[in-house]
Amino acid sequence: MKNNNIFTSLTAAILLCFSVSTSFSVLAASAPEVQEAEPEKGPHRGRMLREDNVALELAIFETGVPPEFRVWMTDAGKPVSPNQVDLNIKLTRLGDVVDDINFRVEGDFLRGDLEIYEPHSFVVTINANYQGKNYRWQYDNFEGRTRIEPAVAEAMEIGTDVVGARTLHQTIPAYGRISLPASATHNISARFDGVITKLLVKQGDLVKQGQTLMTVESNESLKPYQITSPADGIVTEQYANSGEQTASKTLLTLTNTSQYVAKLAVYPADYKNVVVGTPVTVKVEGYDTPLIGKVDFIEQKVRDDQAKLVWVSIPNTHDALADGAFVNADIEVATIDVPLAVKKIGLQGFRDFTVVYAKVGDQYEVRMLELGREDGEWVEVLGGIALGTTYVTDNSYIIKADIEKSGASHDH
């Protein structure tokens, strides 16, 4: 039976490619949905809990204060003085975290001594002592929570990471073109004019530094001498052939394409943030791997649009670069170490909050986040999730959709 269930779940996962609504209906590993009756509400809009003639109203109050419990009790329909009730409430959260709440008398009600932080998702256990008798109630108050079988989560490629310290790399975008540095081109000519007796290379050939390119017989001495390559490169132009006079002209042009320069436009608002040595990530159209470099030079002349050009040397590792190609880049303007961060890809909206989904076993639940600084991949977390928490990164929208399908809400 267990294998059949896993097979069914995996089948459902595959069907997502054809029908999102169908797959969401089978993602949760819980029992079929049952329409639950709305809990009874009291005069303070709290949940009513009853035993014999005793009734307790438990409300979450959050007008002008952080969310807290407030409790009223009646006996046979008549108000009970809060001084007569000894009350304790325990909230058991996902991961067996327990909030222990005690109460003090305030006016005609009992007031909890602990803030009920988000999410308001827990098992509520109430223990009350009134006139020597113990009363106990327990109910589930879940929100933003779902359960997904591990086999389904794997099939849906739900990825996770762990909340921890990160280094944020804040950047500004820049655009430009790549070109060859001035040192990349060598024009080859003869030291002494004469006849080219042997031409050993042709246009398009790769040559190495020190390699013999041609032999020339001097017109004056009638002795042959060799012309060698001053650097590694490609023969990009050929202006002479064997048997021709050198005639004091350029015979070959060699171009070294191992290194290019990206010339990027930086505008006045960012002048102060970009200096020689600033790290840069360059992305070339049609080339998947970003190229890493740093600012080598900043032109002091501004263009008509008031941009300065900054030069970044980038390696032509896979011979994928070409003179004149358009590029875009991220210029790093700040490096910030933060104690807590999450991947931006995992962020989702829940009610009025930005959240990630914490994972405990096969259960997932919202964590409402207070966010700070960010870079292209990470965002700093100021509150709402603990260090070391496993949370969903890839395909977090699947968790969001399954939770929204359940429509679970919480008491207020």
Distance (Å) of CA 171 to CA 191, 331, 368: 50, 5, 27
pLDDT score recorded for residue 20: 38
Q: DSSP secondary structure string, 111-137? A: EESS--PSP--EEEEEEEEETTEEEEE
Radius of gyration (C-alpha) of the chain in whole angstroms: 36
pLDDT score recorded for residue 406: 72
pLDDT score recorded for residue 66: 94
- Residue 3 pLDDT greater than 70, yes or no: no
- Residue 7 pLDDT greater than 90, yes or no: no
Model confidence at 286, in pLDDT bands (50, 70, 90)?
confident
pLDDT score recorded for residue 289: 84
Number of H helices, E strands in the chain: 4, 30
Are the C-beta atoms of 302 and 313 separated by less than 8 Å?
Answer: no
pLDDT digits (tens, 9 = 90+) for 338-360: 999 999 999 999 999 999 999 99
In the chain the domains, ranked by start, together with CATH numbers, are 2-30 (no CATH), 47-145 (2.60.40.3340), 150-168+338-406 (2.40.420.20), 182-255 (2.40.50.100)
- Residue 45 pLDDT greater than 70, yes or no: yes
Helices 20-27 and 2-15 pack at an angle, to 10 degrees, of 150
pLDDT score recorded for residue 410: 52
pLDDT digits (tens, 9 = 90+) for 177-235: 999 999 999 999 999 999 999 999 999 999 999 999 999 999 999 999 999 999 999 99
What's the pTM value of the predicted model, to 2 decimals?
Answer: 0.71
Who's near 31: CB < 8 A, 6+ residues apart? Answer: none
Q: Identify residue 376 by its one-letter amino acid code.
A: G
pLDDT score recorded for residue 24: 41
- Residue 35 pLDDT greater than 90, yes or no: no
Who's near 289: CB < 8 A, 6+ residues apart? Answer: 318
Model confidence at 412, in pLDDT bands (50, 70, 90)?
low
Query: What does the alpha-carbon distance between residue 262 and residue 297 come to, in Å, rounded to a whole number?
Result: 11
pLDDT digits (tens, 9 = 90+) for 47-98: 999 999 999 999 999 999 999 999 999 999 999 999 999 999 999 999 999 9
pLDDT score recorded for residue 341: 98
pLDDT score recorded for residue 16: 42
pLDDT score recorded for residue 314: 92
| 123-136 mean pLDDT | 97
Please provide the average confidence, as pLDDT, over all residues in the chain.
90
pLDDT score recorded for residue 411: 56
Listed residue (102, 99, 107) closest to 128, CA to CA: 102
- Residue 31 pLDDT greater than 60, yes or no: no
Q: Give the range among 16-20, 112-116, 118-122, 300-304 with minimum mean pLDDT.
A: 16-20
